[in-house]
A and B are shown apart, each in its own frame.
Chain A
Amino acid sequence: MGYGRFLLKRGVQGVGVVWGVVTVVFLLRFITPGSPIDTVAPLDASQETRRQIARELGLNQPLYVQYLDYIWELLHGNMGYSYISSIPASVQVFQKLPATLELAVAASVVAIVLSIPLGVVSATRRHQPADYAATSFSLLGISTPNFWLGIMLVLMFAVELNVFPTSGRAYGFMQSLAAITGPRPFFTVVTAWVASLFLPAITLGTYFTALITRLVRSGMLDELSSGYVRATRAKGLPETLVRYKHVLRNTLVPVVTVLGLQLGTLIGGAVITEAVFAWPGLGSEIIRAINARDWPILQGSLIVIGTGFVLLNIVVDALYAYLDPRVVAE
């Protein structure tokens, strides 16, 4: 099988998965208790008002009609309208997406910047203090619930020391960019933005920092003891070149795959991190939508997340297949 056909196949599978996500989300809505009418109508609304609202929301149609309608509208870029605010779900979801992306990217940056050096140091100085420090940190990191870590960070750095804001998102990336020319002082805006992003990014990033550190460490240990490394060493290549050019690169390939699979964990972590820091992103939106049974918003959010997950994994697979052609042959 050629590389192109491999990609095509993964693409088709990806479309199938997205369709599965849409269907599951749609079905979830019909088996979940708590009718959306309960949240739209006032508590003491008469049954007549409730019926009116059901008509207005199209909830009186048969299930398959609603499903086909939904798919049809979705293909036209319409995710329906929020039960609560009547605003198009696509507008509401994509408005919240940048905040979550910002958080996820910041957390990933934290994780990558910290974890790779930690993992490398840990593996190359095995059984030395640096290794013990790095392994202890990574053990703590994967064992700490991130909502609790967030609360403790707030307690220390926001309540006691008062160096970071306790919650909320100041400005954001786009507004910080705009401040270069805009009326607000650039430096103030960027400082406020970074300060507001700092604790949430650490909170979300810690688990992944710890996880990647462990992966890099054990992967490097495996590679360092493998035959080809001994061979290259025997050829007289400098040790640093061996380590960083060959060993680290080979280590990172499986790391990337695991991270692709952990993307769901990253988003799940973002949901709860956003809840702790009142971060106005997709995670807060999802919790709000679940509590309010605002299905169009929940559906929209899950579909966006699911699609993102599928796309990223196709990229990861493509990368993997490129680096390791055996995958294509399988």
Chain B
Amino acid sequence: MKIGPLSISPRTIRNLRKEFRSSGLARIGVVLIALVVLAAVFAPLIAPHNPRTQNLDRAQLPPLGFTDTEQQTQTKIVDGSVQTVTRNVTVNATATYPLGTNALGQDMLSRVIYGARTSLLVGLLGTVLAALLGVTVGLTAGYYRGRIDDALMRTADVSLAFPSLVLAIALIGLFSRFQADVAYRVSDPLVTSGLAGWFRDMVGLPTPMPETFVIPTVVVLVVGFVNWVWFARIARGEALSIREEEYVKAARALGGSDVRIVFRHVLPNAITPILVLATIQVAAIILLESSLSFLGFSGTTLSWGFDIAQGRGYLSSSWWIATMPGIAIVLSVIGINLVGDWLRDALDPGIEGEGGM
């Protein structure tokens, strides 16, 4: 199998197959990831409702299987002071809103489905960015050693000394200065092409879906920037050991340019641990993104963390608003971690649990 200049040996593929067959957990992981990816990609086709549509008359409906006794309070003014009147209303779940609705009457299931898009996009793009940055720094440091190595690795130390969450919050502020919008709005090709409309008409869900989708670009940049250190450390370690290999020495003696040697010889050999780390990092970045949204530092309202923050004010009356998106986060991160374990066991890259929440 060839990916650009990188190749994966048949032996590696055999190992992967073997571990996959022997491990039920790996299969669960793949299924979970597949579900999240499908939800994210085909959200406009499968979400039962428009995730942004409000229906204040249907607010705080419980999920299927639950009945909620809601206490509705109204005010009236008597002699200039405000009196409150509370009455009990029993609210039944309906199959139209299987996971219930939030305080604005938005469908939780549709929001959870669309939330997968935000999480996955940020997770993948953030990881790619972190990997590009970290691998470049790490290979440079490890290949050249000496002063460059010292300087780059001290920078990495400084970067490690900041809690990533705190650094991310501070950086989001920074980036928002250069770009007034902390998010970038793209049109949703599935909707604008009419595919979603056609499909929904066919299956009897004629609700129009949002035509645009928000990519929280600043969050992507920031989480990528915050997590580069882990990649740098791995790449440097690999570069340090590979540069002493005979064939690399030989290539250098033959007058191969540094860039060429790094790309032809060092990078391909370092790719396995980087891939495994990248898998774990997707999970870490999804958790980081949800933390940022939870604290209100995000560019979009279609995010699991944001919904949890919103639901927190309703814990005593509508527990499901904060619970459902949380379950979605846990399931997707479990899926990624299981796949990460599978890759690690099969490829044995010699890294262990790096990259934090």
Cβ contact within 8 Å between A265 and B290 = no
- When C-beta atoms are compared, the residue in chain B nearest to A156 turns out to be B319
Which of A151, A218, A268, A305 is B357 in contact with, Cβ under 8 Å? A268
CB closest chain-B residue, reference A135: B25
What 0/1 pattern do residues 129 to 159 of A give for CB contact below 8 A with B? 0000000000110111111100110110001
Determine whether the beta carbon of A13 is less than 8 Å from that of B294: no
* 0 or 1 for each of B281-323: is its CB under 8 Å from A? (1 = yes): 0010001001100110000000001001000100110010011
B352 touches A146 (CB 8 A): no
B→A interface (CB under 8 Å): 154-155, 157-158, 160-166, 169-171, 173-174, 176-177, 283, 287, 290-291, 294-295, 305, 308, 312, 315-316, 319, 322-323, 326, 329-330, 333-334, 337-338, 352-354, 356-357
* Interface pair B322/A151, CB less than 8 Å apart: yes
Q: Is the CB of A290 within 8 A of B170?
A: yes
Q: B287 contacts A145, CB within 8 Å?
A: yes
B232 to chain A, nearest CB (A): 13
In the bound complex, how far is the Cα of B312 from the Cα of A145, in angstroms? 14
B295 and A258 contacting across the interface, CB-CB below 8 Å: no
A residues whose Cβ falls under 8 Å from a Cβ of B: 13, 16-18, 20-21, 24, 28, 31-34, 139-140, 142-148, 151-152, 154-155, 159, 207, 211, 214-215, 218-219, 254, 258, 261-262, 264-265, 267-269, 271-272, 275, 286-287, 290, 298, 302, 305-306, 309-310
A8 to chain B minimum Cβ distance, whole angstroms, is 16
Within the complex, the shortest CB–CB distance from B330 to chain A, in Å, comes to 5
* Residues on the B chain within 8 Å of A286, using CB: 166
By the criterion CB–CB under 8 Å, are B164 and A265 in contact? yes
- Cross-chain contact A268 with B163 (CB below 8 angstroms): yes
CB proximity of B109 to chain A, nearest CB, Å: 18
Query: Main SS of the interface on chain A?
Result: helix
CB-CB under 8 A from A258, the residues of chain B are 352-354
- Chain A residues within 8 Å of B157, by CB: 13, 17, 20, 310
Q: A32-B173, A147-B290, A148-B330 are in contact. List 20 more A-B contacts (CB 8 A).
A: A20-B161, A139-B334, A139-B337, A142-B333, A143-B333, A145-B290, A148-B322, A148-B326, A151-B308, A152-B323, A155-B315, A219-B352, A264-B161, A264-B163, A264-B164, A268-B165, A290-B173, A298-B170, A302-B166, A306-B161
Which among B158, B312, B330, B353 is the interface contact of A211 at CB below 8 angstroms?
A: B353
